[in-house]
Amino acid sequence: MIEVVRGDITKLDVDAIVNAANESLLGGGGVDGAIHRAAGPELLAECETLGGAKTGQAKRTRGHRLPARYVVHAVGPVWRGGGHGEDDLLASCYRESLRLASDLRSIAFPAISTGVFAFPIERATRIAVREVKRFLAAGGHSLEKVVFCCFSAADEAVYRKVLAPE
Ligand code: AR6
């Protein structure tokens, strides 16, 4: 049910991909830039109707020119040392994204906040894995597959380590 893949999330044939966005929801660099480039200008036009989102929140749009039917735009926290609610805000991103995809069968996540926003990768991965496992176990959704899409081999190794049975 949980898979780890390495590559470009914009290429994945899943019902929804999650975007690591910022509060404007109007695009940026990193995975956000890649998703907007691949989805086409129709995605930005739809995002302009959303009125942004607060850190820890998520909003859903269509996928436009992406293989994925939907994009869930989640706003992760900027890492400020760990004492500013970063863990809870990141956990909230995963929960909100999963809730917005609970009518779908498959969703793929990037490593939210671990790029430009500088959240430590292993700490972020433990939160991501915990929230996904809890959500899947709680039921009340139609998800059959959750993909963690890693951009680097180093990130992939962290996900595989965190997901490995004890
Ligand atoms: N597919 C999968 N993962 C990717 C891709 C891709 N095509 N491109 C980058 N990554 P970041 P953040 C990985 O910086 O830290 C933007 O400007 C990347 O290697 O994209 O949440 C937004 O607009 C890293 O592992 O997101 C915000 O302002 C992960 O995606 C801000 O950056 C997240 O890195 C958000 O920062």
pLDDT of residue 4: 98
Q: How many CA atoms lie within 13 A of 32 on its CB side?
A: 22
| Domain annotation for the chain: domains and CATH numbers | 2-163 (3.40.220.10)
Ligand 1 atom closest to residue 114's alpha carbon, by position in its atom list = 15
User: DSSP string covering 72-99, please?
Assistant: EEEEPPPPSSS-SSHHHHHHHHHHHHHH
Q: 3-state class of 64 per DSSP?
A: coil
Q: 3-state class of 61 per DSSP?
A: strand
Tokens coding 119 = 């959240």
Please state the φ and ψ torsions of residue 30, each to the nearest 5 degrees: 55, -140
Distance 166 CA to ligand 1 centre (A): 29
Q: How many CA atoms lie within 13 A of 52 on its CB side?
A: 5
Q: Is the CB of 29 under 6 A from ligand 1?
A: yes
Q: What is the pLDDT along the chain (166 residues), one digit of tens a residue?
A: 999 999 999 999 999 999 999 999 999 999 999 999 999 999 999 999 999 999 999 999 999 999 999 999 999 999 999 999 999 999 999 999 999 999 999 999 999 999 999 999 999 999 999 999 999 999 999 999 999 999 999 999 999 999 998 6
Tokens coding 141 = 């959704």
**Reading across the β-sheet that carries 145-150, which strands appear in turn?**
2-6, 145-150, 106-109, 16-21, 70-75, 58-62
Question: How far apart (Å, rounded) are the C-alpha atoms in residues 166 and 164?
Answer: 6
Distance 134 CA to ligand 1 centre (A): 24
Q: Is the CB of 17 under 6 A from ligand 1?
A: no
Nearest residue to 34 (alpha-carbon basis) of 145, 118, 122, 108: 108
CA 117 to mean position of chain CA atoms: 14
pLDDT of residue 165: 80
